[in-house]
Amino acid sequence: MTKRRNFIKSGLALGVVVAANPLKSCAESIEKEEEATFQERKPVVLSTWRFGIEANEEAWKVLGESGSALDAVERGVKLVEADPNERSVGYGGRPDRDGRVTLDACIMDHNANIGSVASLEHIKHPVSVARAVMEQTPHVMLVGDGALQFALEQGFPKENLLTPESEAEWKEWLVNSEYKPIVNIENHDTIGMIALDEHGNLSGACTTSGMAFKMHGRVGDSPIIGAGLYVDNEVGAATATGHGEEVIRVVGAHLVVHLMRQGKSPQAACKEAVELIKHKLELRNGNLEETQIGFIALNKKGEHGAYALNKGFNYAVKDAEGNTLEDAESLRH
Ligand code: ASP
């Protein structure tokens, strides 16, 4: 995208576009061309972390066939939920400190329909249960046993999600049982996905097993609409990964979208939200080094951005031209 835009600009600079009133026309043309270029940039899908590459490809099976962003994000993140080797999402996710795999997920569409589940056990696809909450109930969030009961009623199979690998890690952790939930150290945490479809509609989904060895019942930002995910079809969408408590404190994803509504680019909005989190951490003498936060954002024109507190956060971007893993800029290096 950037490349195409630069090409347009340099084309103009070289006089490829010639007009009677060159200065005025050039400026107008640039604006129009950029507008046209951005409007062309749909569909587009963005996901957190390296596993976002495969998830984006999966989502593209919907987006590339003129499907909806809502169907795309659900399908995309389900790929990661089902993968036992991704140890921070869905099946194979690391358990809580009691050895129970409890999952958090949410979904939001272009009409501000929302659904969410928190602390859900035994169901491989919490995002689909969240979608069922959105579509089949008058509510927006179900938790724990109630969420499980609802999922079973909806026909989701009850499964054991604790893989031998995750169980072994938990048993190793039990030796010292040091309660120090760690996030985003190994680059494979929550998957948050936001997409703009061919029809110009935005949707998003977010799903995770949360912090490894967390207290039973702990809920992070990921299933909380406004914190881990937010979509405003007039403006843009954003999703978060990292230390959920810090994201909730500033209602992170909503903040990013709100900043975009005020005219900030996705990148600038993500940066400002991270700056606020840093500021709040500093006020509380929090540990900046051991806290990671990452936001990704997409606006209605198809422009994207991302920002993190610490170095190491990456995200995947797919449009008709390709699917690339990008390193997010960060406040701390
Ligand atoms: N945000 C998730 C949580 O706090 C974890 C993560 O993304 O690393 O549960």
Residue 216 lies in a domain: yes
> What integer is the mean pLDDT of 167-174?
94
In tens, the pLDDT along 263-309 reads 999 999 999 999 999 999 999 999 999 899 999 999 999 999 999 99
Inform me whether the pLDDT recorded for 9 exceeds 70: no
Looking at the chain, the whole-number percentage of residues with pLDDT higher than 70 is: 86
Please tell me if the CB atom of residue 246 comes closer than 6 angstroms to any atom of ligand 1: no
208 is catalytic: no
Asked if residue 6 is part of any domain, the answer here is no
- CA neighbours closer than 13 Å in the CB half-sphere of residue 206: 34
Nearest CA to ligand 1 atom 4: 244
Residue 325 has pLDDT above 60, yes or no: yes
What mean pLDDT is predicted for residues 178-201?
Answer: 79
- Whether residue 177 lies inside any domain: the answer is yes
Q: Assess if residue 32 is contained within a domain.
A: no
Q: What is the CATH number of the domain that holds 53?
A: 3.60.20.30
At 141 the pLDDT is 98
54-76: average pLDDT = 98
Domain membership flag for residue 14: no
Ligand 1 pocket member 208 (CB < 6 A): yes
- 3-state SS string for the chain: CHHHHHHHHHHHHCCCCCCCCHHHHHHHHHHHHHHHHHHHCCCEEEEECCCHHHHHHHHHHHHCCCCCHHHHHHHHHHHHHCCCCCCCCCCCCCCCCCCCCCEEEEEECCCCCEEEEEEECCCCCHHHHHHHHHHHCCCCEEEHHHHHHHHHHCCCCCCCCCCHHHHHHHHHHHHHCCCCCCCCCCCCCCEEEEEECCCCCEEEEEEECCCCCCCCCCCCCCCCECCCEEEECCCEEEEEEECHHHHHHCCHHHHHHHHHHCCCCHHHHHHHHHHHHHHHHHHCCCCCCCCCEEEEEEECCCCEEEEEEECCCEEEEEECCEEEEEECCEEEC
Q: Which of 94, 191, 221 to mutate to test the pocket of ligand 1 (most atoms within 8 A of CB)?
A: 221
Mean pLDDT of 2-22: 35
Is 291's C-beta closer than 6 angstroms to any atom of ligand 1? Answer: no
Asked if pLDDT for residue 3 goes beyond 80, the answer is no
CA 177 to chain centre: 30
Ligand 1 pocket mutation pick from 101, 102, 103, 211 by most atoms within 8 angstroms of CB: 211
Assigned domain for 197 exists: yes
**Burial of residue 47, with CB atoms counted within 10 A of its CB: 0-12 exposed, 13-18 middle, 19 or more buried:** buried
Binned at pLDDT 50, 70 and 90, residue 217 comes out as very high
pLDDT band at 230 (very low <50, low <70, confident <90, very high): very high
The rounded distance, in Å, linking the Cα atoms of 233 and 300 is: 7
**Is 29 a member of any domain?**
no
Which value, to the nearest 10 degrees, does the dihedral of the CA atoms of residues 12, 18, 24, 26 take?
Answer: -10
Domain housing 154: 40-332
Asked if 290 contacts 296 with a C-beta cutoff of 8 angstroms, the reply is: no
Question: What percentage of the chain carries pLDDT values higher than 90?
Answer: 82
Q: Ligand 1 pocket, 189 CB below 6 A?
A: yes
User: Exposed e or buried b for every residue in 221-238, given b needs 16+ CB within 10 A?
Assistant: bbbbbbbbbbbbbebbbb
Residue minimizing CA distance to atom 6 of ligand 1: 242
- Does some domain include residue 158? yes
| 136-145 pLDDT, tens digit each | 999 999 999 9
Give the pLDDT mean for 207-219.
Answer: 95
What is the number of structural domains in the chain? 1
pLDDT at 182: 61
Sheet order of strands, 44-48 included: 141-143, 114-120, 103-108, 202-208, 191-196, 44-48, 314-319, 322-327
